[in-house]
Amino acid sequence: MSHYQVVKGARDIFPDEMVQWKHIEDVMHRLARIYGFSEIRTPVFEYTELFQRSIGSSTDIVGKEMFTFFPDGSGRSITLRPEMTAGVMRAALQKNLLASAPVQKLYYISELFRKERPQAGRQRQFSQFGAELLGASSPAAVAEVIMFMMHVFDELGLSGLRLRINSLGSIDDRRRYREALRAYLAPHYDRLDDASRERFEKNPLRILDSKNPDMQEIVAGAPRLHEHLGDEARRDFDQVLGYLSGRGIDYRIDHLLVRGLDYYSYTAFEVTSTALGAQDALGGGGRYDSLALELGSSKEVPAAGFAVGMERLLIAMQKQGLLPEAVPAGPEVCIIVPQQEFFDQAFAIAARLRDEGISTAIDLAGRSMKAQLREAGRMRAASALFVGGDELSSGMFPLKDLDASSQETLSLEGAIARMRERSITKQEQP
Ligand code: HAM
């Protein structure tokens, strides 16, 4: 064992687990295509101001969870991205993507970094699958991103999900509401906990979704955001809900849902899973029309998106028995070399088989024939091809079907043809 351990809050993903990740990612890539989203990758770091402007300086993420450093000893710091939305919008604006097509539908599966206290379902490095629809935020556009997200959950077979949804109204609606909320909370100020006092000035809406039961008690009597929504926000929200109902998507309106990022307006939503523990948020998102302006764009870019935590998705699927067996696919053939003096010829045959597109393994550690066969079984190789002195001089090689335990002796060409046949039949199986 090494002296070194993986950093707390980060995880290694080994090949057996990768099988399960790939299964999930395949579904995501496939549905992204069906919904017309194209994949984007952006750098893992951005200038710190990008996140301060977009996520908001008063949020937990920007306030205490960012990994920020000064790479050049200069004044300009960079930060490991704590989320993707800001970077995707930055990239789209920088490239002027919307000039080529006014609606851009982008998705990603990417690593993020938040300096949170690690616990089950909460890591310091984690991944999200997410989508950002830029250039439209009509009720249909918002409904479409929600449908896309829910479709992925559905396709993966998840149950026990709850979609909560709220309208945060326009910026003006919220300004009016903030004042009303502060006026209500002011007489209770002495009873507010430290976090809520901090939020009182900067972002009192965040007090609404406090987990502290004492705060929840105070909040219970607070004026409601939905009572401060203008006609436009109400109409918009009703239409979004109408699309969801039309599609048979269950939701629950949660007037206290605010979300921990400042860029949202109008619709915001979150999905929780009963299969998860304390960290039960599987994904969330919403509409964020003013983000582009915050980032210095001269024009508003209507937008909406969502992100789903990959690790939490895996935990939920594991709990519900939805993950495929964690066994990497074995090679088509394992070359068995009974005498090491013929290794080089056998190694050349392995190269030849690989050129033919056949997945081939050969022992590189000089082990005994028995050990090689054991390894072929462990790897779940479909067949074993014996390459020894007699075989090389006769040009005829025993090919053993390890599944059926049958064996035939073939020329190299014959063996290649047989393996091809077998892998085609295997692929055709469901
Ligand atoms: P978020 O709610 O901060 O939204 O994160 C989305 C999901 O990422 C969470 O529901 C959770 O599953 C996962 N997640 C967050 N933090 C952690 C962590 N420390 N460890 C493991 N999983 C975590 C956003 O990030 C927005 N950018 C979503 C969005 C996209 N809004 C519009 N477009």
Q: 363-380 pLDDT, tens per residue?
A: 999 999 999 999 999 999
**What stretches in the chain show pLDDT beneath 50?**
none
Give the whole-angstrom CA distance, residue 140 versus residue 163. 17
CA of 176 to the centre of ligand 1 (A): 28
pTM value? 0.94
Whether residue 311 has its Cβ less than 6 Å from ligand 1: yes
Do you know the residue count of the chain?
430
Bridge partners of 330? none
- What pLDDT is recorded for position 429? 62
Whether residue 312 has its Cβ less than 6 Å from ligand 1: yes
What is the distance, to the nearest Å, from the Cα of residue 267 to the centroid of all Cα atoms in its chain?
22
- What pLDDT is recorded for position 105? 98
Q: Burial code of 241-252, b = ≥16 C-beta within 10 A, e = fewer?
A: bebbeeeebebe
Whether residue 87 has its Cβ less than 6 Å from ligand 1: no
Give the whole-angstrom CA distance, residue 290 versus residue 302. 7
- What pLDDT is recorded for position 145? 98
Mutate to test the pocket of ligand 1, among 90, 129, 312, 314 (most ligand atoms within 8 A of CB): 312
What tokens were used for 79? 């930060």
Give the whole-angstrom CA distance, residue 304 versus residue 259. 14
